[in-house]
Amino acid sequence: MIALPTETVYGLAADIANEAAVRRVFAIKGRPMSHPLIVHVADASDIDRYAVDAPPEARQLAARFWPGPLTMVLRKSAAVPYYVTGDQDTVALRVVDQRMTRAIIRNFGGAVAAPSANRFGRVSPTSAEHVRDDLGDDVDFIVDGGPSLVGVESTIVDLTGRVPAILRAGAIGRAELASALGRPVVRRRRPGNVRVSGTLASHYAPRASVVLSDARSADRELAKLLEDGVRAVRLVLPDDPAEAARALYASLRELDAAGYDAIVATLPPATEANAAVRDRLTRAAAPR
């Protein structure tokens, strides 16, 4: 089993045509087989190989955002087995902006299913070390591409409905997608019949519990926890939205490793650029 770097998070990779390898990915992650995997391809010309009836929007978005942190949900072609898509007729496609990984996929000549290389429900890895810490000997090789530059998972946009819909917030925001398409894009909070594990209320969670607090009461919240004998700490993220995204998972992992039991976090301002970090922090804080 191998793990590959991407600009978002590290992925645990399997040839989509190799059923045993794909099943092993689900098993290692502890992820239910009904939760579909993202399929990574070499470039936009692969859309027609792995999708059918792709709308013109797919090509527009690919031209604008690929390689990059955007995943598109399209109707799948026969080249995508159902064990990859959780038995759904759709496929999630992405071209990563990571030179080595893209070269590996291109030279391989096929498509690579790669969910984040962490155990199900936990914080995604943004370095080779994170992958090793999480998955240990379950992964044979890790291609070390250094720290992931984006740091949170790709934006997922569903192009199979009447209106393009964002299923998971990422570095590419709703306004950017809408302006590239010249039409509105909606944010689907409750995925209808589509299963997206990243949209489960509790996900992306460190071992420590995460307590959300507004900026003004965070210090009081922290003091209260410490008084109660809880090993608590404040999560401080950079103000710049891109830097905050890059630091988020590594910071949560560091605080976990330092042995804290509670992490007091403040959501960054409710702007488009902060959507992904707000989303991940909210899910990390959800009841488990």
Tell me which residues touch ligand TXA (CB under 6 A).
6, 8-9, 11, 35-38, 71, 73, 85, 88, 90-92, 94, 96, 114-116, 153-154, 156, 167, 194-198
Say which DSSP state 190 is in.
Answer: S
- Cis preceding linkage at 67, omega within 30: yes
Taking the least distance from each CB to ligand TXA, the nearer of 81 and 230 is 81
Phi, psi of 59 (to 5 degrees): -70, -35
The structure tokens listed for 204 are: 């992306």
> Which residues does residue 279 pair with via DSSP β-bridges, in sequence order?
none
Distance of CA 40 to the CA centre of its chain: 13
176 interface partner picked from ligand TXA, Mg ion, none, CB below 5 to 8 A per type: none
Shortest Å, Cβ 204 to Mg ion: 7
208 interface partner picked from ligand TXA, Mg ion, none, CB below 5 to 8 A per type: none
Give me the 115-154 binding string for Mg ion, x by CB under 5 A, dash otherwise. -x--------------------------------------
Span 99-118, contacts to Mg ion by CB under 5 A? 116
Shortest Å, Cβ 33 to ligand TXA: 12
8 A C-beta contact, residue 249 and residue 126: yes
127 interface partner picked from Mg ion, ligand TXA, none, CB below 5 to 8 A per type: none
Shortest Å, Cβ 63 to Mg ion: 27
98 interface partner picked from ligand TXA, Mg ion, none, CB below 5 to 8 A per type: none
123 interface partner picked from ligand TXA, Mg ion, none, CB below 5 to 8 A per type: none
Shortest Å, Cβ 60 to ligand TXA: 20
Strands 90-94 and 38-40: parallel
8 A C-beta contact, residue 175 and residue 270: no
The structure tokens listed for 91 are: 């496929």
Closest CA to 131 of 218, 9, 33, 14: 9
Taking the least distance from each CB to ligand TXA, the nearer of 98 and 209 is 98
Give the C-alpha separation, 218 to 229, whole Å: 17
* Residue bearing tokens 């993220």: 237
Taking the least distance from each CB to Mg ion, the nearer of 40 and 218 is 40
Coil vs helix vs strand at 50: helix
164 interface partner picked from Mg ion, ligand TXA, none, CB below 5 to 8 A per type: none
Coil vs helix vs strand at 113: strand
Taking the least distance from each CB to Mg ion, the nearer of 12 and 62 is 12
Taking the least distance from each CB to ligand TXA, the nearer of 220 and 288 is 288
Taking the least distance from each CB to Mg ion, the nearer of 116 and 274 is 116
Taken in order 196, 201, 204, 207, the sign of the CA dihedral is: negative
Residues that bind Mg ion (CB under 5 A): 116
